[in-house]
């Protein structure tokens, strides 16, 4: 029987092609927050699930602490297909779709569970889809949390206590105008620059959920934390639409399933921290001040008159009072 000899170069080509085909799809997930925080912990849950559901066909690498850029950089990167995924607050998203501005009104959300129902329902899904023309696949709403004010000058209990203070805010017009109405000087700044600015006294304070105040060690340079809860901030897991569309249908389904499960886990984790971290931060030397939120809500009310016409009224009504 005559044997057919296969050239060694053909064997090498076959083996290299097979090895290339077996390479997993790599998805990078960026975020501005630190290791151990709610975004990072939720991303770990996403990683474990998507790698399991795709049987290793997808490998997820997580990049915390603004390693892939600040939030706006990452959103733009996803839109252009330069990075695959990120978890960001909704703060910068009105720059890409005005529909996201609805989340920025002060004291809009009171009950996070009711807010979840809106975000996961028809209204929330319409808002997420508004990013698609920008090249972004918004997978779902996660949680950033209720934002609180820190400073190193005095206990802030009443709205007038912030007058004259330079408070770092996100690059968000509604957030900035809210603090102007309260008499403060809003100072937009990339998150990666905030700690040093607080340390050097360039700014007097900042506002963020307790989990970020803790994981970013803001308590080391800001003695006072006021539990104002003035904004409720969702977060969003974003993906490059180009990258998503290029995935096989079964991989897309696995990504969507993993995101929903990680989202629910991250929300529960974030909510649980709100209670635990009050005591934790006290133990670390922070002075915690409770406030009359109704007094603060009334002081912030004029911002609704300024911005109500800029948002979809149906979206605002759906969230108002939740």
Per-residue pLDDT of 197-232, as tens digits, reads: 999 999 999 999 999 999 999 999 999 999 999 999
DSSP assignment, residue 54? T
Domain ranges of the chain: 24-319
Walk across the sheet containing 25-30 and list its strands: 58-63, 25-30, 85-89, 232-240, 136-146
Under 8 Å between Cβ of 199 and 218: no
The pLDDT assigned to 209 comes to 95
With a cut of 50, list the residues of the chain below it in pLDDT: 1-6, 8-20
Of 228, 104, 108, 72, give the one whose Cα is nearest residue 177: 104
Cα angle vertex 158, ends 152, 164, to 5°? Answer: 55
Taking phi over 0 as left and psi of -120 to 50 as alpha, with beta for the rest, 135 belongs to: left
The pLDDT assigned to 21 comes to 54
The pLDDT assigned to 2 comes to 46
Nearest-angstrom CA–CA distance, 222 and 288: 11
DSSP assignment, residue 226? E
CATH number of the 24-319 domain: 3.40.190.170
The pLDDT assigned to 170 comes to 87
Of 268, 240, 55, 271, give the one whose Cα is nearest residue 139: 240
Under 8 Å between Cβ of 322 and 111: yes
Under 8 Å between Cβ of 295 and 169: no
Contacts of 51 (CB under 8 A, 6+ apart): 58, 59, 60
């Amino acid at each position: 029987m005559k044997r057919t000899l296969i050239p060694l170069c053909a064997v090498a080509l076959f083996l290299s092609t097979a090895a290339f085909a077996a390479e997993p799809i790599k998805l990078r997930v960026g975020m501005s927050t630190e290791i151990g925080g709610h975004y990072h912990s939720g991303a770990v849950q996403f990683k474990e699930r998507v790698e399991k559901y795709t049987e290793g066909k997808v490998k997820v690498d997580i990049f915390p602490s603004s390693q892939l850029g600040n939030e706006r950089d990452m959103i733009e990167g996803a839109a252009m297909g330069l990075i695959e995924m990120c978890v960001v607050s909704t703060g910068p998203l009105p720059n890409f779709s005005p529909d996201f501005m609805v989340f920025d009104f002060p004291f809009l959300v009171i009950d996070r569970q009711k807010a979840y129902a809106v975000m996961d329902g028809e209204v929330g899904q319409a808002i997420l889809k508004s990013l698609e023309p920008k090249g972004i696949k918004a997978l779902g709403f996660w949680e950033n949390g209720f934002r609180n004010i820190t400073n190193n000058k005095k206990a802030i209990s009443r709205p007038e206590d912030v007058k004259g203070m330079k408070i770092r805010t996100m690059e968000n017009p509604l957030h900035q105008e809210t603090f102007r109405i309260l008499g403060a000087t809003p100072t937009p700044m990339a998150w990666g620059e905030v700690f040093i600015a607080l340390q050097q006294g360039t700014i007097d304070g900042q506002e963020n959920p307790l989990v970020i105040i803790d994981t970013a060690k803001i308590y080391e340079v800001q003695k006072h934390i006021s539990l104002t809860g003035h904004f409720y901030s969702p977060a969003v897991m974003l993906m490059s639409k180009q990258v998503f569309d290029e995935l096989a249908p079964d991989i897309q389904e696995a990504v969507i399933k993993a995101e929903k499960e990680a989202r629910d886990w991250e929300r529960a984790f974030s909510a649980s921290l709100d209670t635990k971290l009050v005591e934790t931060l006290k133990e670390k030397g922070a002075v915690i001040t409770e406030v009359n939120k109704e007094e603060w809500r009334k002081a912030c009310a004029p911002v609704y008159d300024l911005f109500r016409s800029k948002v979809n009224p149906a979206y605002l009504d759906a969230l108002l009072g939740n």
